[in-house]
Amino acid sequence: NAGVTQTPKFRVLKTGQSMTLLCAQDMNHEYMYWYRQDPGMGLRLIHYSVGEGTTAKGEVPDGYNVSRLKKQNFLLGLESAAPSQTSVYFCASWGTSSNEQFFGPGTRLTVL
């Protein structure tokens, strides 16, 4: 039982490049989330999903797209990276039986 995993752990992009962050969970959770964490800002919700095939915008969705084609995976895409998207990205899933979020280890993204 790996919990929530994120790929990659680190990434450096140039402005304008695209990339996809992968989040996977093996707990059969319906809800999944993508957050970004910036110094002094706490975690801010980018997008979330309440189940396979559904996604919704969170607090800071601009510049990001997501997809939930399989229940266990939640992908975060950056179509044209900008320096303002330099951040640490955390994925999470919600356990209905335990009433808590399970977080991945994070992805540190730098956009030059």
Partner 1 sequence: AQSVTQPDIHITVSEGASLELRCNYSYGATPYLFWYVQSPGQGLQLLLKYFSGDTLVQGIKGFEAEFKRSQSSFNLRKPSVHWSDAAEYFCAVGPVSQFYFGTGTSLTVIP
Residues within window 42-81 making contact with partner 1, judged by CB under 8 A: 42-45, 48, 50, 56, 58-59
CB 13 within 8 A of CB 19: yes
- Name the residue type at position 109: L
Tokens describing residue 52: 């396979």
> Is residue 90 part of the contact set for partner 1 (CB under 8 A)?
yes
- Reduced to 3 states (helix: H, G, I; strand: E, B; else coil), residue 101 is strand
Residue 63 or residue 103: which is nearer to partner 1 going by CB? Answer: 103
Residue 77 or residue 106: which is nearer to partner 1 going by CB? Answer: 106
CB 108 within 8 A of CB 45: no
| Contact residues for partner 1, defined by CB under 8 A | 31, 33, 35, 40-45, 48, 50, 56, 58-59, 90, 94, 99-101, 103-106
